[in-house]
A and B are shown apart, each in its own frame.
Chain A
Amino acid sequence: MKTLLEVKNLKVHFPLKHSLFSGLRESVKAVDGVSFTLDRGETLGLVGESGCGKTTLGRAIVRLVAPTTGTIWFEGEDLANLSGAALRARRREVQIIFQDPYSSLNPRMTVEDIVGEALDIHQLADSQAARHARVVELLGDVGLDADYLQRYPHEFSGGQRQRIGIARALAVKPKLLICDEPVSALDVSVQAQIINLLQDLQREHGLAYLFVAHDLAVVEHISRRVMVMYLGKVVELADAKTIVRSPKHPYTQALISAVPEVDPDRKRQRIILPGDVPSPIHPPAGCPFHPRCPVAEARCRTEVPELREVGDNHLAACHLAGA
């Protein structure tokens, strides 16, 4: 069995407070009908701008937010419909690391307890000695010295804190790690350390990653395939190299052209999109991207484009994307 995770038509809608007199019940459609698969040991990159639903999708898979409809098949079980002990058991295999290493660690716990707590919850250490030994081993895995065990999060730099977050996630031997913007808050010179660490850990432990980020260059570097989201929907999904070299969706094309180029001899034609991302409460009719799209036609305003094959293992949700 190669496929580890299969998400089908997942929706996460957050209802808004509605007024007493209006019968309308509005909601933020953060994730709106997303389907994809993820293989064992694979890295799937997920990019999109703020508000596109990438973080909510990641959190829904770990069940930190409840899906509205849809299924999340993980090794033959639907995570979307699990609860209680069954969910807790499965959560051991799906872990998450967060963007902000400053707010995702309890400031009043020592490193040993932060990492050890994961072992306690899932009863993975028989004795205090075993727990201690395992925490030391985990810290070693992420490149931290055992001298740090009794220190508190504030004593560490951003990169070191992210390493602690990774050790905590790895403590329960997960098969899938959701990486929610793990390097965005770090200094540029430290980002590469964490990216390399994640790649090493993947090789050693056969981990699969859903790597959420807004930096396309980072995502291209670490991922095998890349998925692009816009307003709660997947607009393009393809091999990482393919999506960067020949993107088919006009949004992906604009996104890639907007990345500032370091190489002065490589000047690209920049596509400047007009306007902002529309509100996910009232997404535009038809193709959600049509108000900003440079090539939109009449039918884009009425017909919702399906995510369809436009090339070898290359999906795009655009009426005009040629094969």
Chain B
Amino acid sequence: MALLDIKNLKLDFRSGGTTARAVDDVSLTMTAGETLGLVGESGCGKSVTAQSIARLVPAPPASYPGGEIWLNGRDVLQMSAAELRSIRGRVVSYIFQEPGASLNPVFRVGGQIKESLKLHQPARATEAEVVRLLKLVGIPAPEQRVRSYPFEMSGGMQQRVMIAMALASEPQLLVADEPTTALDVTIQAQILDLLRDLKQRLGMAILLITHNLGIVGDLADRVAVMYAGQIVELAPARELLRRPLHPYTRALMNSVPKLHGAQDRLSAIAGNVPRTGDFPPGCRFAPRCPLARPECAAAPPALAEVETGRWVRCPYWK
């Protein structure tokens, strides 16, 4: 049985009398211990898809006109508030981009981790357990650090505290939403290294949300690429990076300068990322696509398996 099985998820946002579909027919599965990369630019729907797994998106303004989110055999979209509390933290935990904004500035970090333990594992809510968790995420001198306030720590250390808090309840799925975007590149390397190590030691699944394809190659087993609320490509990570098939994935990879790259000029993607509620008809990438034909704007293409394990939302990918 899959750990996570998202089926045809639709998510609408209502504001000022209009409804905008932010996520449109997204399907994803994850098995236990797997790392799935979810890649896309701002506004593509990757974060709200991930936040829907624990129903963290405030509803209203959000609503789910269709779809199912099966987590451990139960549909999250049908759960009561009490049932949701029982999966949050225990089955699925989150870490976010800005660790500084996720920690309470007026409490010591040790107390904040203990609070998370009290909620989910009351028997283990001890100082010793907090120290063990801080040690697990590689914080030096954990016995002293439990007394620190968030502002006394660097961004990298704060992110380690967030990871410790997320791990406190031993979740089966860790959702890491741009966990290193706010960090410097040498600190990013430390955190990615830590996630890789924890994944091996604890065997949890990681849903890694990022806009950086290099990070995907580093950590993920499979990758889903999102554009304008839809998955446009889904493939094993190495194969996707070696040979991207969807025109958007290809254009995205070509537009990013690479270290040791030899190109004189980057091949830019024309135009801008469409805004939620303003997605073009037919294929949503068509207005910016170098391979677009007149029929692309007419009918929306379906996500189809074009090779074993490789799904592409474009009939003209060849």
Stretch from A6-14, A23-31, A90-98, A251-259 forming part of the interface with B: A251-259
Give B288's nearest chain A residue, CB to CB.
A189
Across the interface, which residues of A come within 8 angstroms of B188, CB to CB? 258, 260
- Let me know if A214 is at the binding interface, CB within 8 A: yes
Across the interface, which residues of B come within 8 angstroms of A259, CB to CB? 185, 214, 259
Stretch from B20-28, B80-88, B122-130, B266-274 forming part of the interface with A: B266-274
Given contacts A218-B257, A220-B261, A259-B185, contact A192 B217 (CB under 8 A): no
Query: Which of A160, A188, A270 lies at the interface centre, i.e. has the most chain B CB atoms within 10 A of its CB?
Result: A188
In whole Å, how far is B199's beta carbon from the nearest beta carbon of chain A? 16
- Let me know if A137 is at the binding interface, CB within 8 A: no
Q: Is the CB–CB distance between B259 and A216 below 8 Å?
A: yes
- Let me know if B258 is at the binding interface, CB within 8 A: yes
Given contacts A220-B257, A261-B218, contact A192 B268 (CB under 8 A): yes
Across the interface, which residues of A come within 8 angstroms of B218, CB to CB? 260-261
Contact of B238 among A50, A192, A255, A264 (CB under 8 A): A264
Q: Is the CB–CB distance between A272 and B217 below 8 Å?
A: no
Stretch from A75-83, A104-112, A193-201, A305-313 forming part of the interface with B: A193-201
Number of A-B contacts (CB under 8 A): 127
0 or 1 for each of A233-269: is its CB under 8 Å from B? (1 = yes) = 0000000000011000000001111111111110000
Across the interface, which residues of A come within 8 angstroms of B241, CB to CB? 262-264
Across the interface, which residues of B come within 8 angstroms of A189, CB to CB? 41, 251-252, 255, 268-269, 273, 288
- Let me know if A130 is at the binding interface, CB within 8 A: no
Contact of B266 among A195, A255, A264 (CB under 8 A): A195
Given contacts A193-B268, A199-B265, A261-B217, contact A49 B255 (CB under 8 A): no
0 or 1 for each of B149-190: is its CB under 8 Å from A? (1 = yes) = 000001011000000000000000000000000001111111
- Let me know if B148 is at the binding interface, CB within 8 A: no
- Let me know if A297 is at the binding interface, CB within 8 A: no
Contact of A49 among B184, B213, B267 (CB under 8 A): B184
The 6 closest A-B pairs by CB, nearest first: A260-B214, A192-B268, A221-B257, A49-B184, A258-B189, A192-B255
**A-B residue pairs in contact (CB < 8 Å), sample of 26:** A50-B184, A188-B211, A188-B252, A189-B255, A189-B268, A190-B272, A192-B255, A192-B266, A192-B267, A195-B257, A217-B257, A218-B257, A221-B263, A244-B260, A245-B260, A258-B189, A259-B214, A260-B217, A262-B213, A262-B256, A264-B217, A264-B242, A270-B189, A270-B193, A276-B156, A276-B157
Q: A160-B272, A188-B41, A217-B259 are in contact. List 6 more A-B contacts (CB 8 A).
A: A192-B268, A195-B268, A220-B259, A221-B263, A260-B192, A276-B187
Give B contacts to A, CB under 8 Å: 41-42, 154, 156-157, 184-190, 192-193, 211-215, 217-218, 237-238, 241-242, 251-253, 255-261, 263, 265-270, 272-273, 288
